[in-house]
Amino acid sequence: MTLLGAALCFFRPPDDIAGPFWPSGGRWRTCRAAANPRVGLGQMQSGLALARQIGFQLFIPDGLLVLAQCYLQAGQLEDGFGSLTEAAQMSEQSKMRAWEAEWYRLRGEFLLARARQRHLVDVNQPDQREADGCFQRALEIASQQGAKSWALRVAMSQCRLWQQQGLVEDAYRALKTLYGEFTEGFATQDLQEAKALLAELAASQCARGAFGRLHIGVLGDACGNVRHRSDAVRDDHIAVAVEAFGV
């Protein structure tokens, strides 16, 4: 394989951005999903070196975002912020905006990670407020681009933040709406993560007995009195409740 061919296979965007013309493959997906972030870091650094070697500038910002994700998983926040800054600078130079939504999502994630490192958990803490703003901006961009995959990923980040802030019902409603727009691809990593998060949000509400306006009759029948049951039985009841919501 030529250097150009190797780079094309390494930097492959999501299907709803790539279109039918792009070569199959895309090792960057493997890097993002790597169980060991150190493995992903090594692979992405090699891939970026390859892209720079052949002057393949167009998709280096995408690679930098995946590298930032690896840094986030490894807890190397300063290196990750550096990758985000370089990606923004290169995107500005090239006027390539395809990954702008993901850039804002990752910046929000880094802001939250920095707040956690500093043990700042106040919902009014500046990093949390700025992170929520980043997620909102990312959703707006993804909507303008018609990029549902990016939008779903951003929504999961925002809904996790809302969950921490006690806005579980709002998080469930927002994510359920986006998840419901998909008609295929349910075996993909993002949709599997979205389904799991919806189940977690539903279970949280069920455990509180606080679903209120959200199909309370069906949920009440499914959950029953779960507090006095074994973990296995309780999990079965929660699964039934989640299924009742169509998750």
The pLDDT of residue 46 is 83
> 166 — phi, psi (to 5°)?
85, 5
Whether residue 215 is predicted with pLDDT greater than 50 in this model: the reply is no
The pLDDT of residue 6 is 45
Whether residue 101 is predicted with pLDDT greater than 90 in this model: the reply is yes
Task: Give CA–CA dist 154/144, Å, rounded.
Answer: 14
The pLDDT of residue 32 is 52
Task: Give CA–CA dist 43/148, Å, rounded.
Answer: 27
Share of the chain above pLDDT 90, in %: 47
pLDDT tens digits for range 120-156: 656 567 889 999 999 999 999 999 999 999 999 999 9
Residue boundaries of the structural domains of the chain: 1-98, 187-247
Query: Poorest-confidence range of 21-25, 50-54, 86-90, 147-151?
Result: 21-25
Q: DSSP letter at 22?
A: S
